[in-house]
Amino acid sequence: MFEKIVNEIKQLTTITVTWRADFDELMSVLKIFFDDNHTENLLLDLRESPLDSITHDHIRNLCEYAKYRANGERRVNGKTALVGSSDLQFEVGVIFKKYSEMIDSAIKFSVFRSIEQALSWLEED
């Protein structure tokens, strides 16, 4: 299951994943955001999802999809914050960030262990 909250005033969409997501499920959730996005910023809360089935190839595919989707111009100045409390969740985020940098994604990406830190970074200019 996932919960999606859109705050158009703050230009922030928060997606909280609350199940043992496999990659196909996670990709479906994120495609909904990428394809029907109305905010510049994304907070992806994965603290309740173990991510133990996510591979490096999955991360690469997701980064490439995010970069090349049709409506990417809506997030030109956007940021994505991934929040993961476990070491695995945090490291998946770090790999995602590094791969995004390698493919020269225009979206700023950072990884955090708390929602508060992520929100603070998202609110910075």
**pLDDT tens digits for 28-73?**
777 776 677 678 888 999 898 877 777 878 878 877 776 666 445 5
Per the CB < 8 A criterion, the answer to whether 80 and 117 are in contact is: no
Segment 59-112, tens digit of pLDDT: 788 777 766 664 455 566 788 899 999 998 898 889 888 888 888 877 788 999
Integer CA distances (angstroms), 6 to 9, 14, 42, in order: 9, 6, 9
Query: Alpha-carbon distance 79 to 35, whole Å?
Result: 16
Q: What is the pLDDT of residue 33?
A: 67
Give residue 70's pLDDT: 46
Architecture of domain 2-123: 2-Layer Sandwich (3.30)
User: pTM for the full model?
Assistant: 0.80
